[in-house]
């Protein structure tokens, strides 16, 4: 996982530099796309790096006190369909931007429905735990 974090951070840095160099040629769309990709890879790298550090701290705490329970209990999360619905909504929004505003409206409505459905599902899971 450590290697993944480093690779993602390096790709993010590379895409950032490539985007800045590419942006000097007055072509703004490529600049935006490269900067968005750089931000995405940097986010993944930072997230993976934090996960590795948290796991190392938990392992060190477990070694210090072998009989003690872990300090942070991980909540159980059931599988859900809503990330797939969000991805379909994103595809609809992109297709709507490229083709027709009616497809854009359908994608936006689907995104709102996915957000509401996911929120309600998480709310019901949370109430079931308490």
Tell me the per-residue pLDDT of 56-93, one tens digit each, with 9 for 90 and over. 888 888 777 766 555 566 666 678 898 999 999 999 98
Cα 99 to Cα 53: distance, rounded to the nearest angstrom: 45
pTM above 0.85, yes or no: no
Packing angle of the helix pair 28-64, 2-23 (nearest 10 deg): 160
pLDDT at 48 over 70: yes
* CB 33, CB 62: distance < 8 Å: no
Distance of CA 123 to the CA centre of its chain: 20
């Amino acid at each position: 996982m450590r290697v993944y974090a480093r690779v993602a951070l390096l790709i993010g840095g590379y895409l950032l530099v490539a985007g800045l160099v590419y942006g000097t040629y007055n072509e703004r769309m490529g600049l935006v796309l490269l900067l968005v990709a750089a931000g995405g890879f940097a986010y993944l790298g930072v997230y993976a790096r934090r996960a590795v550090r948290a796991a190392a701290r938990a392992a060190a705490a477990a070694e210090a006190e072998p009989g003690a329970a872990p300090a942070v209990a991980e909540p159980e999360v059931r599988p859900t369909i809503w990330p797939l619905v969000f991805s379909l909504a994103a595809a609809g929004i992109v297709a709507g931007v490229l083709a027709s505003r009616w497809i854009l409206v359908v994608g936006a409505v689907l995104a709102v429905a996915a957000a509401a459905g996911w929120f309600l599902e998480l709310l019901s899971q949370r109430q079931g735990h308490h």
